[in-house]
Amino acid sequence: MSQKTAAEKPLSIWEDAVKMIEKAKSDGVETVWDRFDKQHPGCTFCEKGLTCKNCNMGPCRISPKKNGKMKLGVCGADADVIVARNFGRSIAGGSAGHSDHGRDLVEVLEAIAEGRAPDYKIRDEEKLRRLCEELDLPVAGRTTLELAKLLADACFDDFGSRKNALGFTCRVPEKRREIWKKYGIMPRGIDREISEMMHRTHMGCDNDAVNTILHSARTALADGWGGSMIGTELSDIIFGVPVPKPSQVNLGVIQEDKVNILVHGHNPVVSEMVLAAAADPGMLEKAKAAGAGGINIGGLCCTGNELLGRQGIPMAGNHLMTELAIVTGAVEAVVVDYQCIMPSMVQAAACYHTRFITTSEKARFTGADHIPFDTATAYSQALDIVDMAVTAYENRDAGKVEIPGAAVDIVAGFSNEALVSALGGSLDPLLDAVKNGSIRGFAAIVGCNNPRFQHDSLNVALAKNLIKKDILVLATGCVTTAAGKAGLLVPQGAKMAGPGLQAVCSGLDIPPVLHFGSCVDNSRVIQLCGMIANALGVDISDLPVWGSSPEWYSEKALAIGLYCVASGIPVHIGSAPQITGSKLVTTWAVETLEDHLGAKFLVEPDMDKAVEIMDARIAQKRAALGLPE
């Protein structure tokens, strides 16, 4: 966002954000927007994906020569190869993030089974058994803990090199599996695909851009139907399947008279324990003695979404709100695990009494307090964390406290299980609504904020435009907070929807935008698409569905986009990835993929135009299925 646009309109559509951006200025706290202005406009080579740093003959930056031909890198790589390699490495990065998170859950499940994680338990035995059966594991006569071990082993196997297809690809419609086989993109092993992506993009390996793109798709599929799906499913088994429950969003959920602890990151393993420790009678006693009215746990980003969906904690904010939450001056501790945690939060916290506490060896921050979290000693370490927050409360400077905005009511915590049960036990009522046109289609809006855009403006505009067209929206990641603040996560929000969706929402008492969890929970979305496609006897690419990430910023969002496309779900994004330096790769992304995989990317920063295109495709798909408009 240039200085000029910044002067024209506020940096965020939310009053709580705008107030805190002002306060940050007067408190001398630098924010993401300040740094964005200093970085942009940036390097055009990099923006187009035309910089290669993959070896020490370079770095190379290539551009068109006067005669229209492209220069080559020192090794001879052309624009197509360099762009495809860079893109592939981004996909590997995003897939690694989700999947290594998934692996952490497998380790916890195994530790529970072996009695090494006494503070955790299996909260959903039924789902554990159901998954084991689905994966064709020998369940007969086994105890819960034996099943847990069996499932953990099966999931570990999915990370390796011994399989031809990941376990959960059993959920993929037959037609889609055939396409994957035809193009050689059936995901085999999660670590294998990621590692092979790194290998292929080393100097002197995969020098055919299309071939690299196809392996990128395979890597992303290993994320969606592998790492992310394992993360979601195992979290459900250990912490419970999300069911809808009331909660609240925005900075107003921070309570002036309480010890406020914000959990931030992605993995629920630490934050669930912190939530439990915050209810510890000894801690509450200590908080009272310090003059506080209690201990309040609020969420940021996806760890927040994990705990909101399962335990109903309120959400303080999404990605671009994370620094601003500290600026309220009323946060005693920010407890983080990994991913999407701005390094600047250490400095922001240092401007107040806030303790910034890291817990993962994979994500240490210089200057932070580090608690090396171990599932063997989880509860006592969580007590230590809460204790640090309570102690910090005594250092709070009342003069620096300002909590903007009133909390907004939401209903959150949908899952496929919860959806089916809201429908009375089967998907049929939903399918009927799709068939008779009261619901014209589905769109999953995924995550993220990006200071390129006015904060949350695209997320909210897109959601509102879609529901007006009777398109049911599933929200995951950071967009959930935006939808919540806009009043879209309550059944009354259906007033903003078209007549068909309005009727469905009031009949089922559900919001027009369903909180479907964190970013790894996009695995629920592809699973649902698989279920619907199977029920209709078609491929996922035949369904009237879309994915979208209007304000995407992260490699993980890119991986989600690509696994959706490779699964047959077209994906809209608000800004182009760094691939525009290659006409070939760009054309593949926005056109050619459709011919081969039945779905492609749409890049469109204007939400009115985007919805027009999305709507037209939904109409087309409905017609092809013989459904009325």
Candidates 75, 139, 243, 536; binder of ligand SF4 (CB under 6 A) is 75
Of 70, 135, 203, 350, the one binding ligand SF4 (CB under 6 A) is 203
> Nearer to ligand XCC by C-beta: 302 or 412?
302
Q: Which two tokens stand for residue 16?
A: 């709580």
**8 Å CB contact between 295 and 386:** yes
Decide if 82 contacts 88 (C-beta within 8 A): no
For residues 10 and 93, which CB has a smaller minimum distance to ligand XCC in the complex?
93
Torsion of CA 599, 604, 608, 609, to 10 degrees: -70
Residue 478 interacts with which of ligand SF4, ligand XCC, none, CB < 5 to 8 Å by class: ligand XCC
**Strands ordered across the beta sheet of 315-317:** 369-370, 355-358, 333-336, 259-264, 295-300, 315-317, 245-249, 408-412
Nearer to ligand SF4, 75 or 431 (CB): 75
Span interacting with ligand SF4, options 71-79, 423-431, 550-558, 568-576, rule CB under 6 A: 71-79
Treating both helix axes as pointing N-terminal to C-terminal, what angle do 268-277 and 79-113 enclose, rounded to 10 degrees? 40
Exactly one of 8, 9, 44, 74 binds ligand SF4 (CB under 6 A); that residue is 74
324 interacts with, out of ligand SF4, ligand XCC, none, CB within 5 to 8 A per kind: none
Q: What is the distance between the alpha carbons of residues 125 and 128, in angstroms, rounded to a whole number? A: 5
Q: Which does 447 bind (CB under 5 to 8 A by kind): ligand XCC, ligand SF4, none?
A: ligand XCC
- Residue 554 in 3-state DSSP? coil
Burial of 537 (0-12, 13-18, 19+ CB in 10 A): exposed
Q: Which residues of this protein are in contact with ligand XCC, per CB under 6 A?
A: 266, 301-302, 318-319, 340, 447-448, 477-478, 518-519, 554, 556-557
Closest by CA position to 277, among listed 114, 389, 396: 389
Q: Which of ligand XCC, ligand SF4, none does residue 340 bind to, with CB < 5 to 8 Å depending on kind? A: ligand XCC
Q: Which is nearer to ligand XCC, 358 or 381 (CB)?
A: 358
Which does residue 302 bind out of ligand XCC, ligand SF4, none, counting CB within 5 to 8 angstroms by kind? ligand XCC
Which of 455, 556 has the CB closer to ligand XCC?
A: 556
DSSP single-letter state for residue 376:
G
Q: Report d(CA 360, CA 378) in Å as an integer.
A: 12
Phi-psi sector, 407: left (phi>0), alpha (psi -120 to 50), beta: beta
Choose the contact partner of 92 out of ligand SF4, ligand XCC, none; CB within 5 to 8 A by kind. Answer: none
Q: DSSP string of 303-369? A: HHHHHHHHH---EEE-GGGHHHHHHTS--SEEEE-SSS--TTHHHHHHTTT-EEEE--TTS--TTSE
Please report how close the Cβ of residue 184 comes to ligand XCC at its closest, in angstroms.
29
Task: Report the amino acid identity of residue 245.
Answer: K
Spatial distance between the Cα atoms of 505 and 446, rounded to a whole number of angstroms: 21
Which whole-number Å values give the CA distances from 418 to 118, 435, 526, 609, in the listed order? Answer: 28, 21, 16, 33
Q: Which does 145 bind (CB under 5 to 8 A by kind): ligand SF4, ligand XCC, none?
A: none
Q: How far is the CB of 560 from ligand XCC (least distance, A)?
A: 8
The entry of ligand XCC, ligand SF4, none near residue 283 (CB within 5 to 8 angstroms by kind) is none
With b for 16 or more beta-carbon neighbours within 10 A and e for fewer, the 556-565 pattern comes to: bbbbbbbbbb
Binding positions for ligand SF4, 319-358, rule CB under 6 A? none
* Type of residue found at 148: A
* Residues 41-70, interacting with ligand SF4 (CB under 6 A): 52-55, 57-60
Pick between residue 340 and residue 573 the one whose CB is nearest to ligand XCC.
340
- The answer to whether residues 242 and 310 touch, using CB atoms and an 8 Å cutoff, is yes
Comparing CB distances to ligand SF4, the nearer of 54 and 381 is 54
Which one of ligand SF4, ligand XCC, none is in contact with 51 (Cβ closer than 5 to 8 A by kind)?
none
Which CB sits closer to ligand SF4, 57 or 623?
57
Q: How far is the CB of 191 from ligand SF4 (least distance, A)?
A: 24
Give the number of residues in contact with ligand SF4, rule: CB under 6 A: 14
Q: How far is the CB of 51 from ligand SF4 (least distance, A)?
A: 9
Q: Is 435 exposed, middle or buried (0-12, 13-18, 19+ CB in 10 A)?
A: middle
Tell me which of ligand XCC, ligand SF4, none is bound by residue 108, counting a contact when its beta carbon lies within the kind-specific cut-off of 5 to 8 angstroms.
none
Which of 50, 77, 274, 345 touches ligand SF4 by CB under 6 A? 77
In whole angstroms, the minimum distance from the beta carbon of 48 to ligand SF4 comes to 14
Residues 138-167 that bind ligand SF4 (CB under 6 A): none
Q: Which residue, judged by CB position, is nearest to ligand XCC in the bound state?
A: 447
> Residue 55 or 431: which CB sits closer to ligand SF4?
55
If we measure between CA atoms, which residue out of 410, 589, 563 comes closest to residue 492?
Answer: 410
Cβ–Cβ under 8 Å, residues 234 and 226: no
Rounded CA-CA distance 522/25 in Å is: 36
Shortest Cβ 214–ligand SF4 spacing (Å): 20
Pairs from 183-188 (Cβ < 8 Å, separation ≥ 24): 183/214, 183/217, 183/596, 183/597, 184/214, 184/218, 185/214, 185/215, 185/217, 185/218, 185/221, 185/566, 186/218, 186/221, 187/218, 187/219, 187/221, 187/222, 187/225, 187/226, 188/161, 188/163, 188/164, 188/222
Q: 41 preceded by cis ω (within 30°)?
A: yes
Our CB check for ligand SF4 shows the closer of 85 and 455 to be 85
| Piece of 73-81, 366-374, 453-461, 506-514 that binds ligand SF4 (CB under 6 A) | 73-81
Q: How far is the CB of 296 from ligand SF4 (least distance, A)?
A: 50
Question: Which of residues 55 and 139 has its CB atom nearest to ligand SF4 in the complex?
Answer: 55
Residue 301 binding target from ligand XCC, ligand SF4, none, CB below 5 to 8 Å by type: ligand XCC
Q: How far is the CB of 564 from ligand XCC (least distance, A)?
A: 13
Positions in the binding site for ligand SF4 (CB under 6 A) = 52-55, 57-60, 73-75, 77, 82, 203
